Chain A
């Protein structure tokens, strides 16, 4: 039974690709195509493109990604805890609580260090 469910998901993944692909291909065959040099330029407010695309960007993006990583790992571990929670005793709450608060401490540390300021 359980395997059947995954067959369905697999079939879904196999078929889902064709849904966006079909209109894009239909568009490719139906629409006129007259490429020109100017048309294929990179768009920039109507003026000619200035400089390189790979501009320098803010370091904040990395910091947020790092904080996210901490929580992401936490949540993967919390899902089994939540599923089994009803069958476990009060100790499960204590263990989970300590685990979550330890990670929250990481957020507080980042907060105090100013990693959450967008300046």
Chain B
């Protein structure tokens, strides 16, 4: 950064303030454009992976390996008419897709890509990211309400219920890394994981965060807001052309951003071997590590997406309020308690930090054990409730199938 500033000041004779401002705008353009271009790769990746999961080949006609498929799709959407329904609230209808993209793109401002490369290392980094991503909820509501369409409105209602609800366990899980690191700055949280990544001793918080932020994006199995088979497409039903594409761009970007956030908060961000701000390749290596971790998480994300069927809305809400919220509350209390039991290490180091981490890990394992036994009791009771109603032989593979063989 500084050498660019020097070039601007000495070679071009600009004032210090102007040079700093130019660098800020240049950085914004690089980060935002880079962020916006990721969906071109991830959409192709997702279609390829989906195809493999379903024993297909996937896009392979446009460009090598079908890599240009997304660009072809964008060009097609560019040539489509943007229809605004007669009864729509025109201003709200127009602003909704824009706000959707803005809400996600602005999150890139606080993502630490490497020890040196971060847009803005705010002291409230995480809070900023969460606050900005919540704007996406409003964008979806605006789209659903502004369309003046029953399906769109139903989708918007579901959005309010789902996204608001899942924000609670997400933020409760997110308090854990904040508490462990003692800071809300993204760079600070990454640096706190120099020796042990948080995922190794607070796995419950990591999993709760990943699940609830998947629900925040509103993708399968939490895609009730756009359930194609029930409410056609939900909030974006009346949109066409680029406005429609913007909603999808926002969703895809959001999926990438939650994987980035999980990687930063729990998987150590750019931490990895040989990353040191002093040498030249360190920052580049950090970026490579972060992208590798994000890609890994994104694969898990796709794996869930193409494996698990959509939840029913009552199950969805029950899963959140009766399972995730109590679990994340108790998880936070347990982590906070054990964290205080052990004295803080005199100086940072793997061995010095190990006892405290192990203590927290044991607490996590105990929590999981209690939760699983409670779930087992609940499931047993539920099964006994319905057992009288179902003819068991229908589902028993060992039962003789006299009738079936006779009709064959």
B-binding residues in A (CB < 8 A): 2, 4-9, 11-13, 15-17, 19-21, 23-24, 26-28, 30-35, 37, 39-45, 53-55, 57-58, 60-61, 64-65, 67-68, 71-72, 75, 78-79, 82-87, 89-90, 92-93, 96-97, 100, 104, 107, 111, 116-119
- What's the dominant secondary structure at chain B's contact region? helix
| CB closest chain-A residue, reference B105 | A16
Asked whether, in the complex, the Cβ of B78 is within 8 Å of the Cβ of A27, the reply is yes
CB-CB nearest 4 A-B residue pairs = A118-B314, A27-B242, A20-B101, A5-B120
Residue B227 is within 8 A (CB to CB) of chain A in the complex: no
Q: Which of B97, B108, B151, B184 contacts A24 (CB 8 A)?
A: B97
- B interface list, Cβ under 8 A from A: 20-21, 24-25, 27-29, 31-32, 36, 77-87, 97-98, 100-102, 105-106, 108-110, 119-123, 127-128, 147-151, 153-154, 157, 160-161, 164-165, 167-168, 171-172, 175, 178-179, 182-184, 232, 237-238, 241-243, 245-246, 249, 313-314, 317-318, 321-322, 325-326, 329, 332-333, 336-337, 339-340, 344
Q: Using known A-B contacts A12-B32, A24-B242, A64-B164, determine if residue A100 contacts B81 with beta carbons closer than 8 Å.
A: no
Interface contact B77-A42, CB-CB below 8 Å: no
In the complex, what distance in Å separates the CA atom of A96 from the CA atom of B321?
21
Given the known A-B contacts A12-B106, A82-B179, A83-B182, are A104 and B326 also in contact in the complex, defined by CB atoms under 8 Å?
A: yes
Across the interface, do A82 and B83 meet the contact criterion of CB distance under 8 Å? no
Question: Are the C-beta atoms of A15 and B78 separated by less than 8 Å?
Answer: no
Let me know if B317 and A118 touch, CB within 8 A: yes
Q: Are A31 and B78 in contact (CB under 8 A)?
A: yes
List 28 contacting pairs A-B, 8 Å CB cutoff, sorted by A.
A5-B120, A5-B122, A8-B24, A8-B119, A9-B122, A11-B24, A12-B28, A12-B31, A12-B32, A15-B29, A16-B32, A20-B101, A24-B97, A27-B241, A33-B82, A41-B86, A43-B237, A44-B149, A60-B161, A60-B317, A61-B160, A64-B317, A82-B175, A85-B182, A86-B344, A93-B336, A93-B340, A104-B326
Assembled-state Cα–Cα distance A85/B257 (Å):
28
Q: Is the CB of B97 within 8 A of A20?
A: yes
Residues of B within 8 A of A93 (CB): 336-337, 340
Contact B178 A79 (CB under 8 A): yes
What is the CA–CA distance of A57 and B168 in the complex, to the nearest angstrom?
23
| Alpha-carbon gap, A27 to B333, bound state (A) | 52
The answer to whether B121 and A5 have CB atoms under 8 Å apart is yes
- Across the interface, do A90 and B340 meet the contact criterion of CB distance under 8 Å? yes
- Knowing A41-B85, A86-B344, say if A4 contacts B20 (CB, 8 Å): yes
A7, A12, A17, A43 pick with most chain B CB within 10 angstroms: A12
With a 10 A CB-CB cut-off, give which of A9, A20, A64 has the most chain B CB atoms.
Answer: A20
A-side contacts of B31, CB under 8 Å: 12
Chain B residue contacts of A64, Cβ below 8 A: 160-161, 164-165, 317, 321
Q: Are B78 and A17 in contact, CB atoms less than 8 angstroms apart?
A: no
Contacts of A8 in B (CB 8 A): 24, 27-28, 109, 119-120
Contact A55 B120 (CB under 8 A): no
- The CA of A55 and the CA of B237, in the complex, are separated in Å by 17
In the complex, what residue of chain A is closest to B36 when comparing beta carbons?
A: A19
- Distance A82 CA – B202 CA, assembled complex (angstroms): 15
Q: Which residue of B lies closest to A75 (CB)?
A: B171
B326 and A107 within 8 A (CB): yes
In the complex, what residues of A have CB within 8 A of residue B337's CB?
93, 97
Chain A hits for B179, CB < 8 A: 82, 85-86
> Given A24-B242, A85-B336, are A11 and B101 also a contact pair (CB < 8 Å)?
no
